[in-house]
Amino acid sequence: MGIQLKLKTLNLLQFFAWGAWLLSAGAYMFVTLEFSGIQIAACYGTMGFASLFMPAIIGIVADKWISAEKLLGILHLLLAGVLIALTQATEFSAFYSLIFLVSMFYMPTIGLNRSISFATLENRGMDIVKVFPPIRVWGTVGFILAAWLVDFLEFGITPNQFYVSATASAILGIYSFTLPKVGIQKSTEQKTIIQALGLDAFALFRSKKIALFLIFSTLLGCVLQISNMWGDQFLQSFGDEFADSFVTEHSLVFLSFSMVSEALFILTIPWFLKMFGIKKVMLLSMIAWVLRFAFFGIGDPGSGFIFLTMSMIIYGMAFDFFNISGSMFMAKESTPAIRSSAQGLFMLMTNGIGAIIGAYGSGFVVDLYTGAEGMRDWPTIWFIFALYALIVAVAFAIIFKYKHDPNEDLEVKH
């Protein structure tokens, strides 16, 4: 198997395991388990809490002691077991505890995936900016396939979605041990405790440019999971008025069109970064988030179907131009010795602190605009999210200073 095919398979399985439940778990918790908005937000917020420390810790271990591909395999095998246990949890306390473990085992594997991919391509002299996006797009394909499978098998409001995820994680856990070995950065030189623990990645904060980049990444990280948390419930809320609509009957499939957009936009990243630089690419992402939420606010499966569709299309720019471009920018700004740690730091700020604020904040807003018998004022909810993204975009445009040279490639450091 060629190296690029190996990495494509890695990414497909990685995000298949996530796609099996990320979009549908909110509806399962709301409809089947009857959790409140804050409780649902708390469960999704575990991804944020886990990202506060697990990606950084696992990144340190991968940089210093155990190779990244072995850690990836161990974590996915543990994840498969916890997902199976999660299918039996019905009370909030038990479900929350187990979903926390799921997050602790899964979230660091995203950074490990990137580190393995970047290191493997770099070791073979390949241009990461050009070669990685077409590989990463297979992760999006895996996410889409998982969402479609769960939708057509009608697992969306049942615990069976977690069995699907567990199966993918078990397969990936075994497959990971066949991946190319990622070298551990060893040295005989004297090191400080900070260096020995791999915490030297935090030295990146000494750069004003990187510090501001990470702060705004945190603010934008607040919105990353909002539509994944509430999108399925929002579309299903049209069930009474548009009972025969494809949007309500196959809400997960419709939401997965966002991932199709993501797959296409990934392929444009090298061109956009080359032409416009990281600041403008990030700003485009922020504006896209504004439109993503605003289109949800004015759309419906009837006359407003075009707006729901446009929200699906714009999602690719919103997510990819931040998440993928941001990780590549961090790879450029870090040295090989701290690369896994730097990816863990990026995850900590975005999928950690940002995700926690976004989860609990969105849960508060959803409950605030939930009336009698669980009826929710979805247009107002989405417009509030859009306004937040707009404020972040304006602040970023004014505060973050970055001069782009179109003649300079975004190359990672060797």
Residues 117-152: pLDDT tens digits?
988 998 898 988 789 888 988 998 999 999 999 999
pLDDT, residue 100, reads: 96
Give the separation between CA 142 and CA 203, rounded to whole angstroms.
Answer: 35
Q: At 363, is the pLDDT very low, low, confident or very high (cuts 50, 70, 90)? A: very high
Please report, rounded to a whole number, the percentage of residues in the chain having pLDDT higher than 90.
56
Alpha-carbon distances of 99 from 85, 172, 216, 335, 353, rounded to whole Å = 10, 19, 28, 34, 18
The amino acid occupying position 391 is I
Q: pTM of the predicted model, to two decimals?
A: 0.81
Let me know: does 226 contact 360? Beta carbons within 8 Å: no
> What pLDDT does 414 receive?
43
Specify the higher pLDDT residue, 331 or 375: 375
Mean pLDDT of 17-40: 94
Sort residue 174 into left (φ over 0), alpha (ψ -120 to 50) or beta.
Answer: alpha
The pLDDT of residue 402 is 75
Q: Structure tokens of 278?
A: 């990281």
With a CB cutoff of 8 Å and minimum separation 6, the contacts of 343 are: 55, 59, 111, 114, 115, 327, 330, 331
Which one is predicted more confidently, 303 or 328? 303
Calculate mean pLDDT across residues 282-298. Answer: 96
| pLDDT, greater one: 350 or 297 | 297
Name 168's Cβ contacts closer than 8 Å, sequence gap at least 6.
13, 16, 17, 20, 142, 146
Which distant-in-sequence residues (6+ apart) come within 8 Å of 196 by Cβ? 64
pLDDT average, residue stretch 171-194: 74
Mean pLDDT score of the chain: 88
Q: Looking at the predicted structure, is the pLDDT value of residue 30 above 60?
A: yes
Please say if the pLDDT value at position 12 is more than 60. Answer: yes
Lowest mean pLDDT among 173-182, 187-196, 227-236, 337-346: 187-196
Higher pLDDT, 266 or 177: 177
Instruction: Report pLDDT for 337.
Output: 66
Indicate the residue type of 304.
G
209-227: average pLDDT: 89
Which pLDDT does position 188 carry in this prediction?
Answer: 47
- What is residue 192's predicted lDDT score, i.e. its pLDDT? 54
Domains parsed from the chain with CATH numbers = 3-181+198-399 (1.20.1250.20)
